[in-house]
Chain A
């Protein structure tokens, strides 16, 4: 019963969320990869806020086959309760007629097994795609890292060619990711030379001081966060900020 309900729900929500996106056509920014997604999504949201752009982002963990459409429709989850799902199912239709639709969607894509990316990309077509990292995390559900890599190659393939792809060049698998020739790719990194390259990192009591080399210019920044993942978040933020 549960399995049947889940399948019906999955396709019902997919159908409605696709319809909603088709009507309003917002710009979609997706954040994918094994780590750092929520931090990056939060950073992008912050940038959109400072630029006074309207947006909708998926809440934490709303990044899978059920969660993603719920985030698009701006609905909560009923989790494991049929009772809680009932009003959500009705509200989903009403959402099709909503006004004041946001200009941007910032969506995390959660890929835990083979085929997940294909399904999620059957709902959204990203204008900007960020791939934060590719690690052993969730590897138990894939045959190998190269199978997992294929999921992200599909993301590159499906990204709008008028948009761009942001890639972590410190990650060997991502540096060698097969991307379409007509898709602009912007890289970031610390260990490897990249389009946005952070160097000479100094830890201070309140955060980190970094030198960033981009577009043949070097600039010093102070960030109030700690660790390498947060430098990546900052670099992705710089890229997005300049492009929006």
Chain B
């Protein structure tokens, strides 16, 4: 019974959210929800589609052709060229794109390398597909960068793919072009697929123009599946809409799984995605400006807590991933490391501030917490005020 699901975990982030909701006065900096509402232009695009009675029917399985065309136009701006008829699938969020891709590319027993700490649900999707997630640690001392030799060592004859998130959740790292090219070289050498989740690609601070993607290299198109979702950049987590693109030969196979899973992405959300691409650019810029300010605020407040946390300033995303220093609240685990689960629980109990324990993102995340600074400024300030009070220097 339940052979397929017995090794799956329910999301730790959601467990924390649930626990936090039991406290009436809690402030959650846990779940990766943006602090803004979906921009008005996007909603009006949906209203128009509803008025035109365009949303009640299924779309084609890969998505509305007008949306796929818009996506291809958007990709051209990023120096990525695809056949919008055959090389794009509009999906029900990124997690569906990830699930469909892994199911199409792998056979049970295959191994998938994932740099960690990284997004918690990757492991579950890989397990659900009957594959094994092999964690390859990122180097915190080098700003959570890849170490290619560790990948080389982790590759076995069962390895099928390398799956990474760029910019990375929870560390906020943007992988360097050099590191990504190194990863691509490795994938070519060992005949592996690359799955690149770029849901945070639009979170650009520090006047960086754009984030490099391996999808810009046409020679890699038969090896790379690139995944994007509208959830984060356009504040559309509830709409569950995203897309993937790759070479037509791969997309053809993924489409079969996508069709089995959802038939098509919700059509109403596909119109919302069209609205995002047609009218959302200004809002994304505006959000980025605000997230940049919130990041700086979070860093400043963490500086005041330097006796409790060490951190690396995130380059992207709306997360910061500080390391917990030894302190009165932090219990040590059996290996003498800080038990971040215990720390998060105690903080929640004492001051009703919810954070995610770093171990949720992989073994290398132990001793850390993930803070979502993308919430409202008021909540962020309030949460840090409580932390200040809790960790007052004696």
Contacts and interface: CB of A to CB of B under 8 A. Distances in A.
A80 B279 CA distance: 12
Contacts of A79: 41, 279
Contacts of A36: 69
Contacts of B81: 207, 224-226, 230
A227 B278 contact: no
A205 B84 contact: no
Contacts of A60: 73, 278
B339 interface: no
A46 B183 CA distance: 35
B52 interface: yes
Interface string B270-287: 000000001100000000
Nearest to B247: A226
A6 interface: no
Given A38-B73, A61-B278, A229-B83, A141 B52 contact: yes
Contacts of B222: 205
A227 B219 contact: no
A205 B82 contact: no
A61 B40 CA distance: 17
A206 interface: yes
B87 interface: yes
Contacts of A207: 81, 218
Contacts of A39: 69, 72-73
A205 B219 contact: yes
Contacts of B41: 79-80
A220 B65 CA distance: 30
A137 B84 CA distance: 15
Interface string B64-105: 011001001100000001111111000000000000000000
A227 B73 contact: no
A226 B249 CA distance: 13
Contact of B221 (A137, A205, A229): A205
Contacts of B221: 205
B90 to A, nearest CB: 15
B208 interface: no
B83 A228 contact: yes
A83 interface: no
Nearest to A206: B218
B52 A140 contact: yes
A135 interface: yes
Contacts of B350: none
B385 to A, nearest CB: 36
Contact of A35 (B44, B69, B218): B69
B54 interface: yes
B189 interface: no
B378 interface: no
A34 to B, nearest CB: 8
Contacts of A230: 81, 83
B306 to A, nearest CB: 45
Contacts of B218: 205-207, 224
A226 B82 contact: yes
B85 A227 contact: yes
B4 interface: no
Nearest to B64: A137
B53 interface: yes
Interface string B39-73: 01100100000001110000000000110010011
Given A36-B69, A38-B73, A205-B219, A227 B82 contact: yes
A79 B221 CA distance: 38
Nearest to B53: A140
A38 B71 CA distance: 12
A207 B65 CA distance: 21
Contacts of A205: 218-219, 221-222
Contacts of A228: 83, 85
A36 B68 CA distance: 11
A225 B75 CA distance: 12
Interface in A180-235: 205-207, 224-230
Interface string A16-44: 00000000000000000001101100000
B84 A229 contact: yes
A94 to B, nearest CB: 24
Given A226-B83, A227-B87, A137 B66 contact: yes
B187 to A, nearest CB: 15
The 9 closest A-B pairs by CB, nearest first: A227-B83, A226-B83, A206-B218, A61-B278, A205-B219, A225-B81, A227-B85, A38-B73, A205-B218
21 contacts: A35-B69, A38-B73, A39-B73, A61-B278, A61-B279, A79-B279, A80-B44, A135-B65, A137-B66, A141-B52, A205-B221, A205-B222, A206-B218, A225-B81, A226-B82, A227-B83, A227-B86, A227-B248, A228-B83, A229-B69, A229-B83
Interface of B: 40-41, 44, 52-54, 65-66, 69, 72-73, 81-87, 218-219, 221-222, 248, 278-279
